[in-house]
Each structure stands twice: as structure tokens, then as C-alpha cells.
A = this chain, B = another copy of it.
Amino acid sequence: MTIPMYGLVEAGGTKFVLGIASGKDDVHETVRIPTTTPDETIGAMVDWFSARGPLAAVGVASFGPIDLDPASARYGYITETPKPHWSGTDLVGPLKVGLKCPVALDTDVNAAALAEYLWGVAQGCRTSLYFTIGTGIGGGAVIEGKTLRGLSHPEMGHIRLTRHPNDLEFAGTCPFHGDCLEGLASGPAIIARWGKSLSDLPADHEAHDIIAHYLAQLVVSMQAVFEPGRISLGGGVMGTAGLIDRVHNMAARLGAGYFKSCAEDIVTLPGLGDRSGLLGALALAMGAES
């Protein structure tokens, strides 16, 4: 019996991380290639996999927006992105043609949510969510074992929030919506207001409470919408010491005991840490077979 080998792709705006694995505890070769032009990056990706023998399937956990509609002529394409050269890039086609195996695609955050559901902190949850709070803010969901999609994939970073009373002047950094969640609480939004990342600001700086206030509203609104069994918060901003505790406290206060779950019980850092992206790609690849 041959153990099936999967190709993993974590496609990001600055780098593509590629891997080969037979299972979550056997990711046995990885490489990083810079995200330059589509031709160069996708060419290097196909070459790298081609040199590594037949694959049972490839999973691609990608930055967005991407076209996930199987009925669309542009299924598997990156659609309109501010990243130069990448709008309208076919991500799935070259892999299918070059490697002659099934290719599964989803957003990086949906894939991470799936990995957390299969192997991380969301195991056994009927409904669970994963967010990355970093350069951007994105969210994915797994509902009864499947990632959430509608007409397209979610863009959960763009929900609306109540402004913190000490943060009424800042216009927000989202080029589309100004003061949506991403416009208020992403890494660039923090630097735009205070000149440093949150982890570089002193622990008594008001920025900590302001950002926790926005993330707590995210938690409470997600409790209202999903009553999820788990919300994992990952990404660079969540590396700030004490932030998750502030979010717990603030979300408990905002929720006021109304929801079935306590924020402290359901909100955690990701169980898979920075492996959630690549393991998300593995989860997609393993699902692509069936």
C-alpha cells in the first residue's frame, strides 16, 4: 500500500509556502518562494511540486479575493486585488494541468478554520470560527465539518462596530469602508494611530483597551450570529502580551451574560499556531480526494 502524498500551498501576498505531507504529523518538506509576478511564482510552484513525484491532491489556502464558484469560468482565479499583477490570475489551472491531480482551493482563513476543526482547538465543534488579526483581518468558519461559503467567500474583517469613545477621530485605514473592523484594528490601523505595533506599546497605553474593545465586539457579534463553540484569534496582533485576556474581559462585559457561551471558554489562540495555514492546505487536499 502506498501512502498518499499531498501538496500544500499557503499562498500569501509576500510569499508562497509549499509543502509535501502524508498527514498532519508528517509535513516533511517545505519551501518558501517570494510572491513576485504570477508567472514566476506559479511557475516555480509547479516546478517544485513536479520534481517531487506524483501527488494524490493539492490543497491551496490562498489570500483573496478568489473565485470559489465551481460554475464560474474563472473558478480558481484571484479576482480584483490591490496586489500589482495578481488580479485575474489563475491559481488552480496551472496546478491541475502541471500536476494532473485534484486541486482544492479555499481562503487561507477558511482553511485554517478547517485545520483547527480537524486537529486543533475547534475539534468536536458544530460551529467554529478562525480569525487572523494582522496586516489585514479575515475570518473563516466551519459549520458541521464544512467551510462557510455563500455567493463568494466571507470577508469577515469588514463588519461594522461601535467606536470606542477615546477613538472617535481616527478615520480608519480600510480603503473601502474606513472604520470597519479591519480599518480600526489591523496592524496598519494600529501603526497609523500610534506609530508602533501593539506589542511595542507600553502595557498601560490606551491602545490595548481600544483594540481589545473592537475585538471584543467582534467576539460578541459572532456569538450573536453563530453561537460558535470556538473562536480562535490568530495573526501578528494577537501575539501582544495580555491581549487575549483583555478581549475575554471586555467580551464578557459586552455580552452581559446573554449568550449561551462564555467568551473566556470559547475564545482562544489557535491550537496549531503558525502551522494553521499549511495544515489548512493539507485539510483541503485531503478533502479534495473524495
Interface residues of A (CB under 8 A from B): 125-127, 139, 143-144, 146, 148-163, 176-177, 179-180, 217, 220-221, 224-229, 254-261, 266
Contacts and interface: CB of A to CB of B under 8 A. Distances in A.
Nearest to A229: B151
A133 to B, nearest CB: 15
A89 to B, nearest CB: 18
Nearest to A126: B150
B155 A221 contact: no
Q: Is the interface of A mostly helix, strand, loop or mixed?
A: loop
Number of copies: 2
A227 B152 contact: yes
A78 to B, nearest CB: 14
Nearest to A216: B160
Contacts of A257: 176
A94 to B, nearest CB: 24
Contacts of A261: 151-152
5 contacts: A152-B261, A155-B259, A159-B159, A162-B162, A163-B163
A254 to B, nearest CB: 7
A148 B141 CA distance: 12
Given A143-B143, A155-B258, A177-B254, A228 B162 contact: no
A164 to B, nearest CB: 11
B229 A159 contact: no
B229 A158 contact: no
A221 B176 contact: no
A230 to B, nearest CB: 9
A150 B158 CA distance: 22
Contact of A162 (B139, B179, B260): B179
Contact of A227 (B155, B157, B227): B155
A208 to B, nearest CB: 20
B226 A176 contact: no
A22 B151 CA distance: 33
A163 B256 CA distance: 20
A284 B157 CA distance: 33
Given A161-B162, A227-B153, A258 B148 contact: no
B148 A226 contact: yes
B127 A149 contact: yes
Contact of A160 (B150, B152, B217): B217
